[in-house]
Amino acid sequence: MNRTNLLNDRKFLIKYITSYSVLVIIILIMGLYMYKLGIDDAKSNLFQQSYIILSQSVSNMDNAFRSMETLSIQIADNSNIIKLEKMTSTENPFYPSAKEAMQFLTSFGPSEAILPISDYYIYLPHTDYVLSSSYLNRTDLYYRLNKHYNTQYYNEWLSALNNESSCFSFYNTQNLSPYSTSPYLYLVPLEKYTIQKNISGMICFEIDANKLYNLFLDLPLFERGFLYVVNNESNLSFSITDKSPPSLSKENIQKVIASTNEHPYFSSVTVEKEQMLITSITSSYNEWTYYLFQPEEMVFKSLISYHKIYSFITIGACIISFLVILILSKKNLAPFFKVRTQLEDTLKEHSSLQQTLFIQKQLIYQSYIARLITGQIHNMNELNYISDYLNICTLDRNFCVLYITAYYINNITHDMSSTEMLSSEEQETYHNTLRHEFREAFGWDILIYDTDITSNSFALLVGDDENLSLEDATALHAGQFLTLQEKITKNYPFCLFCGMGNRNRDLTHIWKSYQQARQAVSHATSKAPFQPYKKLHKSWKGYYYPLEFAQKLTEFITSGNEKQVQEFLHLIEYENLLERTLSPQMKLLLFSDIR
């Protein structure tokens, strides 16, 4: 197998493999699509799971707020506490009323246990006292002795207790407390839950950080995640982390939250080069918004192993599929390659045969023209077959032969000479050029017989309308030839001479026109390059019986072609007895030659 066939085999194999691979690719795309649907569904389930857990935790937080609200209503409904709040001094009625109020607050011990609080007390701003179920103390003493808070932040803490804007929000006591964990302070004004006027006391719930964490214990924070809670004014209420506080600053968290406002419930954002998933829920109780931040990598960790398994299976399936396709393609293509090789051999043989037939057809074509022009037709059946083969239309037409000889003009000496001095390639080129010019000049239906290729001599079988007289036909062909002569002389190094034989209706006698044209061209000159046989001067005393005539007559007699012999004898009679005046001695010599 040569290199071309090998390359063709490879190309065909690649196309064959590609056609099958399209199916594998389609299946792979469908698999990828189904994988994407599965991943998206799994992600959606994880989002829903986080949302449900967060929703439950927020519900627990709202229930705690409602319980604290219920407790606040009961406290605000107690007459002793309201009386204490209105007192402006600690004179005699103050302490008995405080004792009764403390006994009243003791009854709420079970309620305290179920709330996420470590303690609660009532701040009495008119007397500057703090009241609870277990103590009654001045505010400054309570700050220093009971809580052991940092004294430098006392005014800040006291300002929060007296500020209505601090109500219903978490006040972080981390800066005040000397302990690592400190409670959030949640202030509830007594005035909100009583019909009494000018009530400025505050119920102060200390939200225990551990109990608060337990409310959100089920949240999947994945170590680096956290819960960030803001109030209805977008200010931080509190945050919960798993093991370490978030690496983000408060300002960055606020920016991230602001950017996710257009994406409710779920969103995925890049937070300081880490992709975070954010699940948000707004409380129906106090309109606080809870933002659950989770590292995407950890949330979808279970999906990563699934992704690796799927990728491994997909890549393995693709490799195996392509190997199977390659093996099966080679196996299935083997018969095709064999058939193609046989077909190529057959096509080569066919092409060779076609070329041989073409050459033979050309030889047969030229042979039929030669037999027709030279008179080697033995019967009418043969004539009809050759006429059909050469596509000659004999209806209402007369035929004549134009014998043209082309002489090569030397560009250096400007002398006319034979074309033998030209190379074979040049001779063939000029020969084909002249044949083309003959057809353009005399018509594309003419037949050209190459009488002598080396000397560029041609016999042209030309058909004319039978209504055209010999004189008109002669003038027509003379004009065509002279135009051709001018064109050839101008464009090619040749000079043409032409002889025209008499016309014949019967193609079996066209050989006479051929002989006459050959005789006429011998009389052509540079001044008269076109010579019709009819106009030749024939008054000389010698008889007309050239060697070609003797050979032709011998051929006709040998083949038994009686009709052609009779026509030949009529031609000899016409040429010698009618066209010429022969002496008796010349006639005897003519008869002797014929005999």
Lowest mean pLDDT among 89-93, 164-168, 544-548: 544-548
The pLDDT of residue 568: 75
356: confidence class by pLDDT, cuts 50, 70, 90: confident
Q: What is the pTM of this model?
A: 0.53
Among 564, 574, 533, CA closest to 400: 533
The pLDDT of residue 499: 93
Identify each DSSP E strand in 429-529 by its residue range: 447-452, 457-465, 494-500
Q: Which residue has the higher pLDDT, 268 or 69?
A: 69
Q: Phi and psi (nearest 5°) for 449? A: -110, 120
As given in the structure block, the two tokens for residue 70 are 């219920």
Measured CA to CA in angstroms, residue 443 lies from 357, 380, 416, 462, 480 at distances of: 27, 27, 28, 8, 10
Question: 135-150: string of b/e by CB count within 10 Å (b at 16+)?
Answer: ebbebeebbeeebebb
Q: What span, in angstroms and rounded, lies between the C-alpha atoms of 270 and 527?
A: 104
Q: How confident is the model over 32-41, as pLDDT tens digits? A: 777 777 777 7
Among 510, 180, 267, 188, CA closest to 375: 510
Q: What is the DSSP letter of 266?
A: E
Q: How confident is the model over 506-552, as pLDDT tens digits? A: 888 888 889 889 888 888 888 889 999 888 766 556 667 777 777 77
CB-based contacts of 327-334 (< 8 A; 24+ apart in sequence): 328/20, 329/13, 329/16, 329/17, 329/20, 330/13, 332/16, 333/12, 333/13, 333/16
